[in-house]
Amino acid sequence: MGSGKTTVGKALAPRLGLEFVDLDQQIEQRCGVDVSLIFEIEGEQGFRAREHAMLVELSKRQGMLLATGGGSVINPANRELLRATGLVVWLQTGVDQQLRRLARDQRRPLLRAPDRRERLEALAAERDPLYRTCAHRVVRSADISPARMALRAEKEIRQALSEVTPT
C-alpha cells in the first residue's frame, strides 16, 4: 500500500511494450462498485475471494504488467500463481514513506484505524515475509519520482529476463 504499484506500473508498462492492468480496478469494473464498498458489504474475506478469482482469470493473459493489491500475497494460492505465471517485482516501501504518501487517502479500508502507523507496521510484519518469498526481484521504493522508480524496475526486469533468455 502506497509503494507506487499503480503509478510506477503505468509508467513502466509502455517502456516494456506491455498493457498495464490494475487488479483492484478490474475487480471494481466487474462488480460495479469500489473496493471499499466490497469490504464493507462482504468483509475482507469476500474481497479476497473475488481477488483470487480475478487473479486466476488475469493470469491466463499474456503481454501485461499487473499491479496487484498489497494483500494479494496473503493467499498462498495467489503467491504460487503469481510466481508461476509471471516475473514478480516487489516495490519495497518503508512505513514512513507509506505514511507520507497515504496521508490524505481515505479510500483504503485497511487504513481505517485509529493509529495508521501501527496498522501499517502490523501489515508490514505480516506481509513482508510473504512478499520476499513471492518476489523474483525487489526494487526499493525510495523517495524518488515514479519515473525514476519505473527506470529502476525496468532495469531489474530486463536483467531478470536476460538471465532466462539466451542471447
The pLDDT score that the predictor gives to residue 166 is 62
> pTM of the entire structure?
0.88
User: For 3-40, b where at least 16 C-beta lie within 10 A, e where not — what string?
Assistant: bbbbbbbbbbbeebebebbbbbebbbeebeeebbebbe
Q: Which residues are annotated as a binding site?
A: 2-7, 24, 48, 70, 108, 127
The pLDDT score that the predictor gives to residue 145 is 79
What is the architecture of the domain spanning 5-164?
3-Layer(aba) Sandwich (3.40)
Among 32, 29, 81, 28, which Cα is nearest to 58's? 81
- What is the percent of the chain where pLDDT is above 70? 98
3-state secondary structure of 52: helix
pLDDT (tens digit, 0 to 9) for every residue of the chain, 167 residues total? 778 899 999 999 999 999 999 999 999 999 999 999 999 999 999 999 999 999 999 999 999 999 998 899 999 999 999 999 999 999 988 888 887 887 777 777 777 878 888 988 999 999 999 999 999 999 987 777 788 889 999 999 999 988 876 65
Cell of 160: 531478470
Q: Which residues are annotated as a binding site for Mg(2+)?
A: 6
Q: Which residues are annotated as a binding site for ATP?
A: 2-7, 108
Q: What is the spatial distance between Cα 153 and Cα 140, in angstroms, rounded to a whole number?
A: 9
21 neighbors 55 (Cβ within 8 angstroms): no
Q: Which residues are annotated as a binding site for substrate?
A: 24, 48, 70, 127
